[in-house]
Structure 1
Amino acid sequence: MAKPKRRYICSACGSVASRWQGQCADCAEWNTLVEDVPETKFAAQHDLSTGGRAIRFEALDAPTRPVQRRSTGLEEFDRALGGGIVPGSAILMGGEPGIGKSTLLLQAAAAVAKAGADAVYVSGEEATGQVRLRAGRLGLADAPLRLAAATSVRDILTTLAEGTPPALLVVDSIQTMHSDMIEGAPGTVSQVRASAFELIRYAKQNDVALVLVGHVTKDGNIAGPRVLEHMVDVVMSFEGERSHQYRILRALKNRFGAVDEIGVFAMEGHGLSQVSNPSMLFLSGREQPVAGSAVFPALEGTRPVLVEIQALIVRLQSGATPRRAVVGWDSGRLAMLLAVLESRCGLNFSTAEVYLNVAGGYRLSDPAADLAVAAALISALADKPLPLRSIWFGEVSLSGEIRPVSHASLRLKEAAKLGFDSGSGPADVGQGVAKLSYSGLSGLSGLVDRVMATA
C-alpha cells in the first residue's frame, strides 16, 4: 500500500503546499501552514448518465416566508444580532480566552429555556459539573436547559435526532469537535471544516439556531480555516480588556441585519450585566475640567457612544528621541495628525513625548475622532482645559480642513441627552440640537484659536 502523501493547508487563504514552510507563498502570512489529510481525488468530468437530479429554479419575486426572530432574553445580544436569533441560522462567536464567551452564551441559552423554548448547551471543553457550578454562580441553576459534555459530532447529531429539534444549540467550542468521517486530531483545518459543515447542515435542515464558539489566535483572528467564517451567517466578536469590566459584542458579518451593531456588557460578580447607556461608562465623573481631555461622540452602527480621549504631553530636556504611545486608537493616524498640526498650525510636538489614551478600554476606528484627538493634543500642549460639557467630532484632512462626517445630528442628540451644552465639528452641519449650541470649524487653525481662547 502506497504511503499517503502529506500536504499542508494555509489557514489564512486555504492554499495547498506539498511541504511545510514558514511563510505561505500565496498570501505571505507567516506560520499558517497546517498539516492536513490529502483530499479525495475526483474525476475531471462528471458522468451525468449515472446519477444526479435536476434542480428546480424559482423566480426572484416568489413568495418567501418572513424572517421570524427569537429573543435571546438579553436586549444587548439581540441588538448586536439585529433584533434576535433567526431559526436555521449559524452564528460564530470569537473572543480572547477568559473574556466571557461561555458565560454570555450560558446566560442566553438559559434565558431562551426559561422562555419556554428548548435549548441545548454542548460543552467540549468543560465537564457538565463545571458548567453547573458556573450556572449556580450566575443564578441559573433552575433553568430547564439541556446540558451535555461531548466532542463527537456523530454522537451529538444522533442524540438530537432522537427527539424534537431544539430552538437553540450552543457548541462550545468548534475547535474541540471531532468528526469520524475525517482523519486528524480535533482543531485541525480539516476537522474544524468538516465538523462545522455537519452541524450547520443539521441546523439548516431543522430550523435550529446554531451558535459556535471559536478560539482566536494571538492576532485576534478566529482559529481554523478562513472558510469557516464564510460558512456561517453571522460572525460576532466579543471584545474587551480583562483588566476592565466592560465587554463589547460586535457583529462583523450578519446576513440578517446590519453590520457593526454593538451590545455592551459589564462583567460583575453575578455574571454579565447589560449596559443600556454605555456612554456613562466611558466618561469620567469629574466635575472640574482637565487639560488634555476631550469627549468624542463615537458611532457604532446606529448607536452613539460618548467616550473620553485623554492626551499627555511631556517636554524632553535632552536630545532623546520622543516617544509616541497610543492606547485605543491607530498609531499611524496619530502620527499623521501630529504632522498636520506641526505643518499647518505651527505647533511643535517634535521635542515632546505624546501619550494618547481612549478611556475605559474602548477602541476607536471612527475617522470622526480626528478633531477630538486634535483638541486633546492642543489642550495638553497649551495646558488649557477644554469646556467641561463640550463634544468634538470631525475628520481632519492633510490640508488641515475639517471634513464632514456621517450622522452628525445623531451624535449631537446623544450629547444633548446626556447634558452636554456645546459641540464643535464640521462647518456644514445644520443648526444645533435644542439645549446644545453648535460651532462649526472649517480648519485646524480655528480649533487652535478656540482652545487658546478658553479660560
Structure 2
Amino acid sequence: MAKKKLQYYCTSCGSVHSKWNGQCADCGAWNTLEESLATPASATASNPRFTGYSGEAVSIRSLSDISIQEDPRTPTNVQELDRVLGGGLVAGSVILIGGDPGIGKSTILLQTLCDLTNIKSLYVTGEESMQQVSLRARRLGLPIDHLRLLTETCVETVLTLVQNEKPQLMVIDSIQTLYTEQLQSAPGSVSQIRESAAQLVRFAKQTQTTLFIVGHVTKEGTLAGPRVLEHMVDTVLYFEGDPGGRYRILRAVKNRFGAVNELGVFAMTEQGLKGVSNPSAIFLSRHEEPVAGSVIMVTREGTRPLLVELQALVDESHGGHARRVTLGLEQNRLAMLLAVMHRHGDIPMFDQDVFINIVGGVKISETAADLPLLLAALSSFRNRPLPSDMVVFGEVGLAGEIRPVPNGEERLKEAAKHGFKHAIIPKANRPHHPIAGMQIITVARLQDAMDALR
C-alpha cells in the first residue's frame, strides 16, 4: 500500500506547507500548523463521473427534477430523545452527542440500541472493554441478546469489519479514541479527529447507516476538537446538567432533520435515563408561601413552552465593586438590564450585589427572560413577594420598551394549564381570544410593569 502524502496547513490563515514548522511563513503565527492528508487534484479530474459524497455518481440536475419524499423515521422508543431528534432516526444521518464525563452519554445510547430489538445495531467502544459494557447493560436490566459489540480504535479496522457486519445503527464511543493509520499524530489530536470523522461520515452516507458519535467536551463546555467536526455531522446534541444531580437536559444545537434548540428532559434512575413527561413540574419550587425574589417565567425551548422559576437575590455590596452573578442566563445581559432599570425605572442598584439563578439547572438563551429578571430583582430589592400564581415573560429594550416574544398565546395556555391565574406580558402579545381563568396585564413600558406590581 502506497504511503499517503502528508501536508501541513495553518489554522490561522489556511496556507499549506510541505513540512512542519513552529511558525507559519505566511502569517507569522506560532504553533498553528496541523497535519493533514494531501489529496491529489487529479484524483477526480480523470473521471468525470466520479463517486460523490453520498455514494452516487455526481451529475448536475435541475431542482424541479428532484423527487420530494420525506425520509421515513425510526422511533427510538425514548419519547424525549425522539423529540430532540425531530421525530426519530433518519437513515444515513450522523449525530454528534457531547457532554461532561458521567452525564449519561454512553448510558442513553446503550439503552437506545438495546431497546431497538428489530434493528441490527453495533456498539463500537474505544474507552471500555466488552465486559464493562456488558456489566452496565445487565445492571440496567436491558435486553442484550441482539446487540453486537466491537472494541477497536483504528478507524480503518472498524470500517472493514463494519462492511461485513452491515449494521443499520452504529455508535462510536468516542471519536477522541479513534485514529487513522494515514496520520502519524496521536489519537485525540485535531487532525486525527477530523480525518477519522470524515471517513465515518462518508461511510454512513454511502451505506445509509445511522451513526451516533460521542464527543468529549472541554472545560468551557464545548465539544473538544476542531469546529469543523460540528459542520460535518447532521445533528449536534449537548447533555446539560450536574452529573451528580438527578435530572439531565438534552439540547439540540444543530439539526438538519428537526427543530433547533429542542429540549429533552431525563431523570437518572437505577434503571438508567428515563424521560420526564412533564418537565415544567421539576423546574417549579412551589414554595409553601410567597417569597421575595422569585418569579415564574414561560420560556420556549424548541417546539414546546416550559415553565421555569427565576430567582433573584439583591443584597447590599460590602466590597468595592458590586457583583453580578448569573446561573443559567448571560451575565452581560444582566448588567445591561440593570442599567435599563436605573434609567427608565429610577431603581439604582449600583451598590447592590445581584445574583440570578434558574431553578433546575436549565439554561435560558432567549430574551423572554428580560422582564421576569427585572421584576424578580425588584421584588428582592424591595423585599416584596410577587403573587405565586403569576407568570411573566417579555423582552426589554434599551429604551425601556417591552417587546413581544414569539408564540405568546401558546405560552399563556401552558401557564393556564398549570393553574396560574395572572400574567404580565408585552402589549403586542395580547391573545386574540380570552384565556379562561387567567387575568392578563399587558404592558408597553418597563414603568407600566413596575406599576402593575404596586
3-state DSSP class of the match of 2:217? coil
Tell me the equivalent position of 1:269.
Answer: 270
Structure 2 counterparts to residues 224-303 of structure 1, below 5 A: 224-303=225-304
Larger deviation, residues 424-433 vs 436-445: 424-433
CA distance, structure 2, for counterparts of residue 233 and residue 65 of structure 1: 18
Unaligned 5+ residue runs, structure 2?
Answer: 51-57
**Mapped pair 1:448 → 2:444:** no
Aligned ranges for residues 185-200 of structure 1 at < 5 Å?
A: 185-200=186-201
User: Which residue number corresponds to residue 439 of structure 2?
Assistant: 437
For residues 450 and 73 of structure 1, do their structure 2 counterparts lie closer, same or farther at Cα, with a shift above 3 Å needed? same
CA contact (8 A) 2:126 2:152 kept: yes
Q: Deviations over 1:96-150 (max 9, x none)?
A: 22211111111111111x2x11111111111111111111221115452111211
- State the match for 1:380 in structure 2: 380
- Residues 130-176 of structure 1: CA deviation (Å, up to 9, x unaligned): 1111112211154521112111222222222224x212100101111
Map of 1:40 onto structure 2: 38
Rounded to whole Å, the distance in 2 between the matches of 1:395 and 1:443 is 11
Q: Which of the residues 147, 150, 164 maps onto 1:148? A: 150
TM-score (norm 1): 0.89
Question: What is the rounded CA distance, in whole Å, between the counterparts of 2:275 and 2:27 in structure 1?
Answer: 45
Q: Output aligned runs, 1:38-437, within 5 Å.
A: 39-40=37-38, 42=40, 50-53=46-49, 55-61=58-64, 62-112=66-116, 114=117, 116-163=118-165, 165-316=166-317, 320-428=320-428, 429-430=430-431, 431-437=433-439
Q: What 5-or-longer segments of structure 1 have no aligned partner?
A: none
CA distance in structure 2 between the aligned counterparts of 1:86 and 1:384, rounded to whole angstroms: 52
Distance 1:35 1:228 in 2: 18
Give the deviation of 1:270 after TM superposition.
2.2
Distance 1:166 1:82 in 2: 22
Q: Secondary structure at the match of 2:122?
A: strand
The alpha carbon displacement at 1:51 in A equals 4.1
Give the whole-Å Cα distance in 1 for the aligned partners of 2:195 and 2:14: 14
Q: Which amino acid aligns with 2:261?
A: D
CA contact (8 A) 1:306 1:415 kept: yes
Which string of whole-angstrom CA distances, capped at 9 and with x for unpartnered residues, describes residues 332-377 of structure 1? 1111111111111111212222111111111111101111011101
Q: Report Cα offsets for 1:417-440 as digits up to 9, x if no partner.
A: 111111111012124422222110
Q: Percent identity?
A: 45
Tell me by how many angstroms 1:13 deviates.
8.6
Paired residue type of 1:417: K
Amino acid corresponding to residue 38 of structure 2 in structure 1: T
Query: Retained in 1: the 8 A contact 2:49–2:59?
Result: no
CA displacement at 1:183 relative to structure 2: 2.6
| Cα offset, 1:34, TM superposition | 6.3
User: In the aligned structure 2, how far is the partner of 1:372 from the partner of 1:422?
Assistant: 14
Contact 1:6 1:35 (8 Å CA) reproduced: no
C-alpha deviation, 1:58, in angstroms? 2.5
Which digits, 9 at most, give the CA deviation of each residue in 1:312-349, with x for residues without a partner? 11124x67432222111111111111111111111121
In structure 2, distance between residues paired with 1:273 and 1:180: 39
Distance 2:204 2:160 in 1: 13
Q: Which moved more, 1:132-141 or 1:402-411?
A: 132-141
SS at match of 1:66: coil
CA distance in structure 1 between the partners assigned to 2:174 and 2:266 by the alignment? 21
Tell me, yes or no, if the aligned pair for 1:244 and 1:360 is still in contact at 8 Å: no
The alpha carbon displacement at 1:194 in A equals 1.9
Deviates more, 1:289-298 or 1:426-435: 426-435
Change (3 A) 1:71 1:291: same
TM-superposed CA distance for 1:14, in Å, is 6.4
Q: Quick check: 1:304–1:410 contact (8 Å CA) kept in 2?
A: yes
Residues 126/25 of structure 1: CA separation in 2 closer, same or farther (3 Å cut): farther
Are the equivalent residues in 1 in contact too, given 2:13–2:27 (CA < 8 A)? no
Name the amino acid aligned to 2:377.
L
Matches of 2:115 and 2:143, distance apart in 1:
12
Normalised by the size of structure 2, how large is the TM-score?
Answer: 0.89
- One-letter identity of the residue aligned with 1:110: C
Deviation at 1:401?
A: 1.3
Q: Distance in 2 between matches of 1:375 and 1:367?
A: 14
Q: How many residues align?
A: 437
User: 1:79 Cα deviation (Å)?
Assistant: 0.5
Letter in 1 for 2:436: A
- In structure 1, what residue type is equivalent to 2:287? R
* Counterparts of 1:415 and 1:376, CA distance in 2: 18
Is contact 1:234-1:251 (8 Å) kept?
Answer: yes
> Structure 1: how far apart are the matches of 2:132 and 2:320?
54
* 1:132 maps to amino acid: S
Structure 1 residue matching 2:74: 3-state secondary structure: coil
